[in-house]
Structure 1
C-alpha cells in the first residue's frame, strides 16, 4: 500500500514512528505492507517510488527539518499530490478554520486523482464537509477522518458502528482537552491567566491558544459530528459559540456549592448546535477533568451511551490514522471480492 504523507509535524512524525513499530502486526493481522513513497511539508518533498527510508526521514526532521536533504528520486511535477502514484494520501497539515487552506486544496487534489484520503485536519471538514463527501463519492475514493474528533478516542466510529441500527437523537460532551484542563484548574482556584499559563507550560495549549479558549476547536468538532453522525449539512457559522475567557470566578464557587463543575459543553439537539460553558452535575457521565474528552449519545432505543478518552496527543492521533488505514485496506479487499 503506497502512502503519501503531507504534513510532517508532531502527528506526521508520530505516524511514521507508529508504522515502524507496527509493521509486523499490520502485515500479520491485516495483510498491509505500507510503503511511504512521499513526505511533503512546507520545507520540501522527499520522494521515492520504491519507498522512503522512514528512519532517515525522521532523523532529518529531528536535525533541521529540511526534507529536500533526502536523496529523492527525480520528480518532474508541479502537482505531486496528483501525479505521484499512491493508494492513500494523508493530509496532516495544521488546522485553519478561516479558509481551511492549504489542507482543503490538498484533499481536493487527492480526491480528484482518485486517491483515498485520511485527514486529521478539522478545517476542510468544518467548512466544506458536504462538498468533500460528494467529491469522494464521485471519484470512488474513500475519505476517512476519525482523528478529527477525539484524537485516539474513536468517537466517530463509536457513534457510526457501535450504535448501528439505533437512531441517535442528540449528543453532548467535552470536545476540547485544553479548555477542560484550564477549567479544571480554575475550579481549583487559579485565575484564568494562571490556568492558561499552566496549560502552556505543560504543552496542553499552543502559544496562540485562541482556537481552544474561544471555542472554535470544539465548534469544528461539533460540526463534523453533526454532519457525519446526524446527516446534517452545517458549517461553523451554524454554531452558537461562547468561549471560556469571560467566566466570572464567582461562577466556580457557586458551582462547587451546588456540587457542579463548569465545563465547555458542545451540544447537538434538533439541529440546535452550541458550544458554551455550562455548570454540570459531578455525577454526569461527561464530568471528566484534566485533558480528557467525553461524549454522551442519546438514542431512541438504547438510551444514553458515553465514551471517554484522551482527546489529543501525537501518538494517540496517529493511532486514529492507522485505524483509518486498516479500514481502507479492508474496504479495498471487500470491493475486489464482490
Structure 2
C-alpha cells in the first residue's frame, strides 16, 4: 500500500499497521506492507520490499526527510509518486478543499487508473466526484472507499452499505464537528467564546485558522457527503443553509442550561417532495434527545429510515487513531471483500 500524506492521521495509520500486522496476517492472510510514502514537507520514500514505518514516523516527527528510506529517486510530484510507487491501494490523506475537492480527486482518479484501490479520509472527493470515482473503480474492478471522512472511524457508510440492506434513509440529524462541539462545551463551563477557542487551539483540536469549523463549512461538507452517498442525492455544500457558532455567547449557553437545554451545531438533512432539504446551524436540544448528551469532541448522528425507528450512532472523543482505523477497515473491505456483505 502507499500513503499520500503523512501527517497525524498518516502516522497514526502507520502505527496501527504495526500494531495489527500479526493479526492481519493470521485472520486475513495479508502481508500489509507500505511500499510508498509521499509527504508535503519531508520528501518521499519508495521501497518495494516495505518501508520501516517506525523509522518513517520518527523522521517525519523530527522534521527530517524520508528520502534516506527510499530505494528510488524522489518523485517530482504527487502524480509521479502514485504512478511509480507500485502499491495495490492508495491512502489519500491530503488537506481537504471544500470548494472543489482538488487535488485529492485527481490523486484518487490516478490511483484507480493505475490499478490501485482508492481509500481516503478526505471529504472533498466524496462531495465533488463520488459518482465519477465510484464508476471508474467499478470499471477497473477496484474499490473507492471513504469510511473515515465522517465521524472518523465510526461505521457510518458501511452501516448502510452492509448492515441495512433495502433500508431507505429518509432523514438524519447529528453533531458532526468536534471543534465546535468542544468550544460549546467549554463555554457551558463558563469560558467566553474567545477563551474556549484559544483552549481548543492550544490542545491542537482547533486549527490556527478555524474558520472552516466555526462558520459551519466542515459540517456542511459532511452533510453533503452523507446526502450524496446515503440518499443518492449529490448536494453542493454551498446549497446547504449554513450558520456557524460565532454569535453565541456564554450567557446564551448558561440560559439554555437553566432551561434544561444545550446549544449544539446541528446538522440536518431530510428527503422531501421537493428534494433534499439540508442545514447546519446552532439549535437547542433537550435532555430527551440523544444528541443532548454529546459533549467535548464527541459526535453522534441519528438516522431515520423507512423500516426502523430512530437509530443513533455515537463516537466518544475521537482522534487520529480512530480515523486511522476507518482507513484500515476500508483496506480490509477492498483486500478481502469476501469477508463483507455488499
Q: Distance in 2 between matches of 1:207 and 1:121?
A: 19
Q: Distance in 2 between matches of 1:273 and 1:311?
A: 26
Match of 2:68 in 1: 69
Cα deviation per residue 1:77-132 (whole Å; 9 max; x = unaligned)? 87231233221011011222133233222112112222101100112222322322
Inter-CA distance 241–172: structure 2 relative to 1 (3 Å threshold): same
Match of 2:35 in 1: 37
Match of 1:6 in 2: 4
Counterpart secondary structure, 1:286: helix
Does structure 1 conserve the Cα–Cα contact (< 8 Å) formed by 2:127 and 2:234? no
Offset of residue 75 of structure 1:
7.1
Inter-CA distance 317–233: structure 2 relative to 1 (3 Å threshold): same
Match of 1:119 in 2: 120
Q: 1:276 aligns with which of 277, 281, 286?
A: 281
Does structure 2 conserve the Cα–Cα contact (< 8 Å) formed by 1:266 and 1:276? yes
Match of 2:106 in 1: 105
Match of 2:333 in 1: 327
Offset of residue 257 of structure 1:
3.1
Cα deviation per residue 1:50-83 (whole Å; 9 max; x = unaligned)? 2212222122112224122324235788723123
Cα deviation per residue 1:208-266 (whole Å; 9 max; x = unaligned)? 11111111111111111111111111121221111111125443244223211110011
- Answer yes or no: is 1:15 the counterpart of 2:13: yes
What is the Cα-based RMSD across aligned positions, in Å? Answer: 2.1
Inter-CA distance 65–311: structure 2 relative to 1 (3 Å threshold): farther
Inter-CA distance 311–143: structure 2 relative to 1 (3 Å threshold): farther
Match of 1:252 in 2: 253
Match of 2:141 in 1: 140
Q: Distance in 2 between matches of 1:170 and 1:203?
A: 33
1:274-313 alignment, distance < 5 Å: 274-287=279-292, 288-310=294-316, 312-313=318-319
Q: TM-score under structure 2 normalisation?
A: 0.91
The number of residues matched between the two structures is 333
Displacement over 4 Å in runs of 4+: 74-78
Offset of residue 332 of structure 1:
7.1
Inter-CA distance 54–250: structure 2 relative to 1 (3 Å threshold): closer
Match of 1:203 in 2: 204
Does structure 2 conserve the Cα–Cα contact (< 8 Å) formed by 1:150 and 1:311? no
Q: Distance in 2 between matches of 1:142 and 1:332?
A: 13
Stretches of structure 1 that go unaligned for 5 or more consecutive residues are none
Match of 1:59 in 2: 58
Offset of residue 142 of structure 1:
0.4
Q: Distance in 2 between matches of 1:231 and 1:259?
A: 37
Q: Distance in 2 between matches of 1:96 and 1:230?
A: 23
Q: Distance in 2 between matches of 1:177 and 1:233?
A: 24
Counterpart secondary structure, 1:68: helix
Q: Distance in 2 between matches of 1:69 and 1:230?
A: 47
Q: Distance in 2 between matches of 1:116 and 1:21?
A: 22
Stretches of structure 2 that go unaligned for 5 or more consecutive residues are none
Q: TM-score under structure 1 normalisation?
A: 0.92
Q: Distance in 2 between matches of 1:76 and 1:96?
A: 23
Offset of residue 177 of structure 1:
1.0
Does structure 2 conserve the Cα–Cα contact (< 8 Å) formed by 1:176 and 1:218? yes
